[in-house]
Amino acid sequence: MNILNHNTPIIIGIDHGYGNIKTANCCFKTGVASFDKEPTFKSNLLVYEGRYYLIGEEHKEFTADKMADSDYYILTLAAIGRELNIRKQISARVHLAAGLPLTWVSEQKDAFKQYLLQKDSVDFHFRGAEYHVDFVGADIFPQGFAA
């Protein structure tokens, strides 16, 4: 894996759907199962801030507010991890291009951007690799348009 932190930010488009998270290169279920201890099965394991998350295990219930819990943030980290893995990078400066349902973009755009950029940088472990991401910005678009 490439461990260099490139100065040029990369843009990662993520469509935050109810059934699936979609990027330019992958698609996976929006399920998130959270654990205090490391689970037995760990093929899609994400470790963040001392918690263990299995990605794609359960189906996320519909909610009109995607910021009501940390699930979509965790799913965003998983999407970033998958995209960085494809690029053979473990560290990057990332600008997010995120998708929300068309009817919610106008009223939730600013709050969702704040939700995604809640930290300037993150360190997480996903699918056997350690990642470091510095967030440099985010833009919110109607779903399907971001990727």
Contacts of 58 (CB under 8 A, 6+ apart): 31, 32, 33
For each of the domains in the chain, give its residue range(s) and CATH number, in order of start. Answer: 10-142 (3.30.420.40)
The pLDDT-based confidence of 147 (bands split at 50, 70, 90) is very low
Q: List, for residues 2-49, the tens digit of each pLDDT value.
A: 555 457 999 999 998 888 899 999 999 998 999 999 998 888 999 999
56 or 89, higher pLDDT = 89
> What is residue 65's predicted lDDT score, i.e. its pLDDT?
58
**φ and ψ of 117, to 5 deg:** -105, 30
- Looking at the DSSP bridge assignments, the partners of residue 54 are 33, 45
Q: Mean pLDDT over residues 114-140, rounded?
A: 96
Burial readout 87-113 (b: 16 or more C-beta within 10 A, e: otherwise):
eebbbbbbebbbbbeeebbeebbeebb
Q: DSSP string of 43-67? A: TTEEEETTEEEEETSSPPPP-S-TT
Taking alpha carbons only, the member of 115, 23, 22, 19 closest to residue 61 is 19
pLDDT digits 0-9 by tens, 97-121: 998 877 777 778 899 999 999 999 9
What is the structure's pLDDT at 74? Answer: 96
State the Cα angle at 145 between 104 and 126, rounded to 5°: 90
Run of H or E including 78: helix 71-86
Please report where in the chains the tokens 């510095």 appear, as a residue.
134
